[in-house]
Structure 1
Amino acid sequence: MARAPDVHICEVAPRDGLQNLDIFVPTEAKCALIDTIAAAGVREIDAGSFVPPKVVPQFADVDTVMAHALTHRSATIGALVPNVKGAERAIAAGVDVIYFVISASETHNQANVRRTVDEQIEGFRAVRAAIDARPVGQRLQLMGAISTSFGCSLEGEVSEAAVCRVARAFAEARADEIGLADTVGYATPKLIGQIVAAVRREVGPQMTLRLHLHDTLGAGLANAVAGLEAGIRRFDAAVSGLGGCPFAPGARGNIVTEDLVFMLERMGLSTGIDLDRLMQTREILARHIPAKHLSGHLHEAGIPKVLRSAA
């Protein structure tokens, strides 16, 4: 059995990376993107979101894309859901993990899912109950994601207490993992350490935590290092830095998976990801997405020889 990597990376480009684009990426291109990501050795892929097509047209083909993604048994295949109905669709599709999102910011939660935080917490409990009603061997994983954990473009600063409130609710409802999301990219390394420590005190050492970072203000990789120093070993990232938030105009996307992998490997931390293969995703994306949406230092500079010689 292959040794587990030191750092686990979930690739979110097929979902978070594409959801806010104003162009529809063809189904075959989404499937090819997932194929290349899986071939690179990525162990978890956020492959889509079960939402009404009129709300997010990009996922009108989510059933087809998800069925294709699930043929890759080497990777955990997940889907984001905003409510119980979406969770029911995800369960029926056979996904491995559901990501259920609640914002620490009340204003952002209302704008994002049109519910109060308390209503969304009740929705999470209902999803947990639906999963627990299934036979033991058919119970998928359930992650609670806390959006705007490090700031909000609508409210500004988000209090530690607001983040911990949602984290506590997730833990009490038996989430399998909690994700802390820098949705609009306002975090700093110091804030990363503070919020991670606060949530850890709130939910205890047994709960698995991950970070979902955006690079709006250029601090994405620095924040990842701060996460490592705080004990985080699970991160979300997107190839070519795809993504953004509709409530943060002009915001850049997720931290770039290729750059994150390079940095981690140079720090002596294994990811289990073949960087050369991962870089091939750019060719797929560039055929369908304008260059202005694609970023990444390695794509601009190339992979330094120092890494190739160390491989």
Structure 2
Amino acid sequence: MSDAIFPARVIICEVAPRDGFQSEDQWIPTEQKIKIIRALANTGVQSIEVTSFVHPKAIPQLKDAEEVVKGIEDLTHIKFRALVPNVKGAQRAIAAGIKKLKLMLSATDSHSLSNANCLVEEAQRGFEPIVDLAQKHNVEVGGSISVAFGCPYEGKVPLEKIVTIVDRYKKMGITEVSLADTTGMANPKQVYQYLGVLKKEFPHMTFSMHFHNTRGMALANVVAALQQGVIHFDSSVAGLGGCPYAPGATGNIATEDLVHSLEEMGIETGIHLDRIIDVAKDVRNMLGHDGGSYMLQAGPCSKLSPKPTAQEKLEK
């Protein structure tokens, strides 16, 4: 396997403040959220998904979206984005100062009915006024496709469905789409094949990957995406995450694990590994748990044990 197939550098978007925190039942104080975002901003990460402007009854943990954004507005070196489910959410996000919106869409009707209470095509048509609103305020919009590779209700998602959804996004003027393996059902061969077709069909579309590690294949799926030239990835510090509308969903690939793996492969991330591990430890201590992080369990490969001495061997 030649090193030439891999990109030299990737861009990681940290999603714990949104995807990670939304699954926590115990209330995380607003000041704690702001503190974690500020710590993440000091690791070298370039992009953070800071919150979601959803109805408070839908996700109570994120009811403080405006306050969180206000508390980090001085961090101008970071690209902040927020998830928005509808026009009302987009209006709130834009008013709060968010410059990039991420749309929320499912790949299957079953998941869409559970998540958005409507079918996929209807939900996607509802994005048109959001895109128009964003254009008027000079705000970027990125598309997303949840359960893009496998749905907990319908199983493997046919590639044709994804192509159709991306084509509708393209017609709206959207040039970036996130493919989310929401319940960790993707496999490396599938990821490689799907991206091969999508990149050929939509050569001017930027694809980003959002892998959950539910079945332990997230890092392998990252490698498959890298082989297709993808350089944009989402991850969550301490491996936090999960979808409240997807049975069995667990955490995202841990940011510290992703950074470590990429750097071991000679791929730059711009993120300071020791700093991101420290933030992961702080998040674990704050919440009382992590979502599955190899760095928190074993540490990086560079963390070596002391060599045994000859005297120690003789004493044994």
Work out whether the TM-score is over 0.5: yes
Q: Give distance in 2, aligned partners of 1:294 and 1:145.
A: 23
SS of the equivalent of 2:150 reads coil
Correspondence for 2:297: 300
Correspondence for 1:275: 273
Q: Give distance in 2, aligned partners of 1:175 and 1:101.
A: 13
> Structure 1 unaligned runs (5+)?
none
2:266 maps to a residue whose letter is: G
Correspondence for 1:201: 200
Q: Give distance in 1, aligned partners of 2:268 and 2:127.
A: 33
Answer whether contact 2:175 2:204 (CA < 8 A) is retained. Answer: no
Deviations 1:9-43 (A, max 9, x none): 00000000111221111111111110111000100
Q: Give the superposition deviation at 1:306.
A: 6.7
SS of the equivalent of 1:209 reads strand
SS of the equivalent of 1:216 reads coil
Alignment size in residue pairs? 298
Q: Give distance in 1, aligned partners of 2:221 and 2:56.
A: 34
Q: Give the superposition deviation at 1:140.
A: 1.6
2:86 to 57, 61, 83: 83
The yes-or-no answer on 1:164 pairing with 2:163 is yes
The yes-or-no answer on 1:143 pairing with 2:153 is no
Correspondence for 1:21: 24
Larger mean CA deviation between 90-99 and 231-240 belongs to 90-99
Correspondence for 2:242: 244
Which stretches of structure 1, 4 residues or more, deviate above 4 A after TM superposition? none
The yes-or-no answer on 1:60 pairing with 2:63 is yes
Q: Give distance in 1, aligned partners of 2:229 and 2:17.
A: 27
Answer whether contact 1:239 1:258 (CA < 8 A) is retained. Answer: yes
Q: CA, structure 1 residues 119+248, in 2 after alignment: closer, same or farther (shift >3 Å)?
A: closer
RMSD: 1.7
Correspondence for 2:98: 95
Q: Give the superposition deviation at 1:191.
A: 0.7
Q: Give distance in 2, aligned partners of 1:169 and 1:294.
A: 34
Answer whether contact 1:70 1:95 (CA < 8 A) is retained. Answer: no
Structure number with greater Rg is 2
2:65 maps to a residue whose letter is: V
SS of the equivalent of 2:219 reads helix
Deviations 1:166-219 (A, max 9, x none): 11111110113111110111000001011112222332x111110000001000
Answer whether contact 2:241 2:291 (CA < 8 A) is retained. Answer: no
The yes-or-no answer on 1:179 pairing with 2:178 is yes
2:213 maps to a residue whose letter is: D
SS of the equivalent of 1:77 reads strand
Correspondence for 1:8: 11
Q: Give the superposition deviation at 1:49.
A: 0.2
Answer whether contact 1:153 1:247 (CA < 8 A) is retained. Answer: no
> Structure 2 unaligned runs (5+)?
1-7, 305-316
SS of the equivalent of 1:288 reads helix
Correspondence for 1:231: 229
| Percent identity of equivalent pairs | 41
Deviations 1:41-97 (A, max 9, x none): 100000000011111000111111112233211110000011111111111111121
Q: Give distance in 2, aligned partners of 1:195 and 1:24.
A: 38
Q: Give the superposition deviation at 1:290.
A: 2.8
Answer whether contact 2:238 2:280 (CA < 8 A) is retained. Answer: yes
Q: Give distance in 2, aligned partners of 1:283 and 1:189.
A: 29
Normalising by structure 1, we get a TM-score of 0.92
Answer whether contact 1:100 1:145 (CA < 8 A) is retained. Answer: yes
Q: Give distance in 2, aligned partners of 1:70 and 1:231.
A: 33
Q: Give distance in 1, aligned partners of 2:124 and 2:250.
A: 29
Answer whether contact 1:178 1:208 (CA < 8 A) is retained. Answer: yes
Q: Give the superposition deviation at 1:266.
A: 1.1
Deviations 1:242-283 (A, max 9, x none): 001224434321001001001111111110001111112134
Normalising by structure 2, we get a TM-score of 0.90
Q: Give distance in 2, aligned partners of 1:149 and 1:294.
A: 22
Deviations 1:106-153 (A, max 9, x none): 11011111122122222221111112223xxxx121100011110000
SS of the equivalent of 2:208 reads strand
SS of the equivalent of 1:103 reads coil
Correspondence for 1:221: 219
The yes-or-no answer on 1:37 pairing with 2:36 is no
